[in-house]
A and B are shown apart, each in its own frame.
Chain A
Amino acid sequence: MNQSLNDSFLPLGDSSVLIRKGTTIDKGTHRWIMSVMQLLEAQRFDGMIECVPAFASIAVHYDPLVVWRSRSLQEKGHASVYETVCKRLEQCLSLLSEKEDNRLPERVVTIPVCYGGDYGPDLQEVAEHCGLSAEEVVSLHTSGSYSVYMIGFAPGFPYLGGMPPSIAAPRHKTPRIVIPAGSVGIAGAQTGVYPLATPGGWQLIGRTPLPLFRPDQQIPSLLEAGDHVRFEAISEQQYKEWEGAEQL
Chain B
Amino acid sequence: MSLTVLKPGLLATVQDLGRYGYQKYGVAVGGAMDEPAARVANWLVGNEDAEAVLELTLTGTELRVDQDMWLAVCGGDMGARTDAGEVVPLWRPVWIAEGTILSFRHYQSGCRTYVAIAGGLEANVSMGSRSTYLRGAIGGLDGRTLGTGDRLEIRQRGREALAIDKLEVSSSGRLKWPLWHAGGFAVAPREVHTVRLMQGEHQNLLTAEALRNLYHEVFRIGPSSDRMGYRLQSERKLKFGEQASELITEPVVHGTIQLPPDGNPIVLLADRQTTGGYPRIGQVASVDIPVFAQLKPGDRIRFYSVTPIESERLKLESELDMNQLRTIIALKLHHKT
Measured CB to CB, the residues of A under 8 A from B are 1, 10-16, 18, 20, 23-25, 37, 49-59, 61, 64-65, 68, 79-82, 150-157, 159, 195-196, 213, 215-216, 219-221, 224-225
Contacts and interface: CB of A to CB of B under 8 A. Distances in A.
Nearest to A156: B26
B255 interface: yes
B107 interface: no
A131 B33 CA distance: 50
B182 interface: no
B135 interface: yes
Contacts of B320: 65
A52 B135 CA distance: 20
26 contacts: A1-B308, A11-B198, A11-B308, A13-B254, A13-B256, A13-B308, A14-B311, A15-B253, A18-B251, A37-B24, A50-B20, A50-B21, A50-B22, A54-B250, A56-B250, A57-B251, A64-B316, A65-B316, A65-B320, A82-B308, A151-B24, A155-B28, A155-B135, A215-B136, A221-B26, A225-B24
Given A53-B24, A68-B316, A151-B24, A213 B198 contact: no
A200 to B, nearest CB: 14
A225 B314 CA distance: 35
B168 interface: no
B135 A13 contact: no
Contacts of A159: 249
Interface of B: 20-28, 126-127, 135-138, 198, 201, 247-256, 273-275, 283-286, 308-309, 311-312, 314-316, 319-320
Contacts of B25: 151, 155-156, 219-221, 224
Given A152-B273, A153-B273, A14 B308 contact: yes
Nearest to B24: A52
A64 B253 CA distance: 14
A79 B127 CA distance: 36
A154 B308 contact: no
B135 A12 contact: no
Nearest to A152: B275
A45 to B, nearest CB: 15
A56 B126 CA distance: 30
Given A54-B249, A213-B136, A151 B309 contact: no
Nearest to A80: B309
Given A154-B273, A196-B136, A16 B253 contact: yes
B97 to A, nearest CB: 39
A52 B273 CA distance: 12
B276 to A, nearest CB: 8
B127 A14 contact: no
B250 to A, nearest CB: 5
B248 A55 contact: yes
Contacts of A150: 249, 275
Nearest to A56: B248
Nearest to B135: A196
A46 to B, nearest CB: 15
A14 B273 contact: no
A24 B248 contact: yes
A11 B201 CA distance: 9
For the complex of A and B, list the 9 residue pairs with the smallest distance between their C-beta atoms, beginning with the closest: A152-B275, A59-B251, A221-B25, A14-B311, A11-B308, A13-B283, A14-B312, A151-B26, A52-B23
B248 A14 contact: no
Contacts of B22: 50, 220
Contact of B315 (A15, A59, A154, A195): A15
A224 B24 CA distance: 8
Nearest to A149: B249
B139 to A, nearest CB: 9
Among A13, A24, A49, chain B packs the most CB atoms within 10 A around the CB of A13
Contacts of A153: 26, 249, 273, 275
A80 B198 CA distance: 15
Nearest to A10: B201
Nearest to A60: B251
Given A54-B248, A80-B308, A224-B24, 11 more contacts: A13-B198, A13-B254, A14-B311, A25-B248, A51-B24, A80-B309, A82-B309, A155-B26, A155-B27, A216-B126, A220-B22
B275 A52 contact: yes
B312 A81 contact: yes
A14 B285 contact: yes
Nearest to B143: A215
Contacts of A155: 25-28, 135-136
